[in-house]
Amino acid sequence: MVTTGRRVLEVTFVTDPELRDLRARAAKGNRDAADQLVELAGERGDLEELRRLADLGYRDATDQLVELAAERGDTAELRRLADSGSRDAVDVLVELEGELDDDAE
Protein backbone atom coordinates (compact mmCIF):
# COMPACT_ATOMS: atom_id res chain seq x y z
CA MET A 1 0.00 0.00 0.00
CA VAL A 2 1.29 3.46 -0.92
CA THR A 3 0.15 6.82 0.41
CA THR A 4 0.29 9.77 -1.99
CA GLY A 5 -0.99 13.00 -0.53
CA ARG A 6 -4.53 12.28 0.51
CA ARG A 7 -4.90 9.02 -1.39
CA VAL A 8 -4.01 5.56 -0.19
CA LEU A 9 -3.33 3.28 -3.10
CA GLU A 10 -2.99 -0.44 -3.31
CA VAL A 11 -0.33 -0.90 -5.94
CA THR A 12 -0.64 -3.82 -8.31
CA PHE A 13 2.47 -5.08 -10.05
CA VAL A 14 2.29 -6.50 -13.55
CA THR A 15 5.01 -7.71 -15.85
CA ASP A 16 5.91 -6.03 -19.14
CA PRO A 17 4.40 -8.93 -21.14
CA GLU A 18 1.17 -8.58 -19.17
CA LEU A 19 1.09 -4.83 -19.89
CA ARG A 20 1.71 -5.44 -23.59
CA ASP A 21 -1.13 -7.95 -23.65
CA LEU A 22 -3.50 -5.54 -21.88
CA ARG A 23 -2.54 -2.74 -24.28
CA ALA A 24 -3.10 -4.92 -27.32
CA ARG A 25 -6.49 -6.05 -26.04
CA ALA A 26 -7.53 -2.49 -25.14
CA ALA A 27 -6.47 -1.26 -28.59
CA LYS A 28 -8.86 -3.84 -30.06
CA GLY A 29 -11.70 -2.46 -27.95
CA ASN A 30 -11.61 -4.85 -24.99
CA ARG A 31 -13.23 -2.78 -22.25
CA ASP A 32 -12.04 -5.01 -19.39
CA ALA A 33 -8.41 -4.67 -20.53
CA ALA A 34 -8.80 -0.90 -20.85
CA ASP A 35 -10.33 -0.68 -17.38
CA GLN A 36 -7.38 -2.61 -15.95
CA LEU A 37 -4.92 -0.34 -17.74
CA VAL A 38 -6.66 2.78 -16.44
CA GLU A 39 -6.55 1.42 -12.91
CA LEU A 40 -2.89 0.45 -13.17
CA ALA A 41 -1.90 3.76 -14.77
CA GLY A 42 -3.78 5.68 -12.08
CA GLU A 43 -2.01 3.73 -9.34
CA ARG A 44 1.36 4.50 -10.92
CA GLY A 45 0.49 8.10 -11.79
CA ASP A 46 1.35 7.23 -15.39
CA LEU A 47 0.03 10.26 -17.27
CA GLU A 48 1.38 9.06 -20.61
CA GLU A 49 -0.57 5.79 -20.40
CA LEU A 50 -3.70 7.62 -19.29
CA ARG A 51 -3.37 10.11 -22.16
CA ARG A 52 -3.00 7.26 -24.65
CA LEU A 53 -6.11 5.55 -23.30
CA ALA A 54 -8.05 8.82 -23.23
CA ASP A 55 -7.08 9.38 -26.87
CA LEU A 56 -8.57 5.94 -27.63
CA GLY A 57 -11.85 7.24 -26.18
CA TYR A 58 -11.80 5.67 -22.72
CA ARG A 59 -13.64 8.18 -20.54
CA ASP A 60 -12.34 6.64 -17.31
CA ALA A 61 -8.81 7.51 -18.40
CA THR A 62 -9.82 11.13 -18.93
CA ASP A 63 -11.50 11.19 -15.53
CA GLN A 64 -8.35 9.78 -13.92
CA LEU A 65 -6.20 12.39 -15.71
CA VAL A 66 -8.43 15.18 -14.41
CA GLU A 67 -8.19 13.78 -10.88
CA LEU A 68 -4.40 13.45 -10.97
CA ALA A 69 -3.93 16.89 -12.54
CA ALA A 70 -6.20 18.46 -9.93
CA GLU A 71 -4.29 16.79 -7.08
CA ARG A 72 -1.02 18.07 -8.52
CA GLY A 73 -2.36 21.53 -9.35
CA ASP A 74 -1.28 20.88 -12.94
CA THR A 75 -3.18 23.64 -14.71
CA ALA A 76 -1.40 22.99 -18.02
CA GLU A 77 -2.72 19.42 -18.10
CA LEU A 78 -6.17 20.59 -17.01
CA ARG A 79 -6.20 23.18 -19.82
CA ARG A 80 -5.13 20.51 -22.33
CA LEU A 81 -7.98 18.29 -21.15
CA ALA A 82 -10.44 21.18 -21.19
CA ASP A 83 -9.38 22.05 -24.74
CA SER A 84 -10.03 18.41 -25.65
CA GLY A 85 -13.61 18.73 -24.41
CA SER A 86 -13.45 17.60 -20.78
CA ARG A 87 -16.12 19.49 -18.88
CA ASP A 88 -14.71 18.11 -15.61
CA ALA A 89 -11.34 19.71 -16.38
CA VAL A 90 -13.09 23.03 -17.04
CA ASP A 91 -14.89 22.76 -13.69
CA VAL A 92 -11.63 22.03 -11.84
CA LEU A 93 -9.89 24.95 -13.55
CA VAL A 94 -12.70 27.30 -12.54
CA GLU A 95 -12.46 26.00 -8.98
CA LEU A 96 -8.67 26.43 -8.88
CA GLU A 97 -8.91 29.94 -10.30
CA GLY A 98 -11.48 30.78 -7.63
CA GLU A 99 -9.07 29.54 -4.96
CA LEU A 100 -6.29 31.68 -6.43
CA ASP A 101 -8.57 34.73 -6.42
CA ASP A 102 -9.44 34.06 -2.77
CA ASP A 103 -5.75 33.79 -1.88
CA ALA A 104 -4.99 37.08 -3.65
CA GLU A 105 -7.51 38.99 -1.55
Query: 5-61, pLDDT tens digit by residue?
Result: 444 445 567 888 999 999 999 989 899 999 999 999 998 889 999 999 999 889 999
d(CA 8, CA 29): 30
d(CA 95, CA 70): 10
Residue type, 105: E
Domain positions in the chain are 2-104
CA 71 from centre of chain: 11
Helix %, strand %, coil % of the chain (to 5): 70, 5, 20
pTM of the model: 0.76
Which helix (H) or strand (E) segment is 27 a member of? helix 16-27
Residue type, 79: R
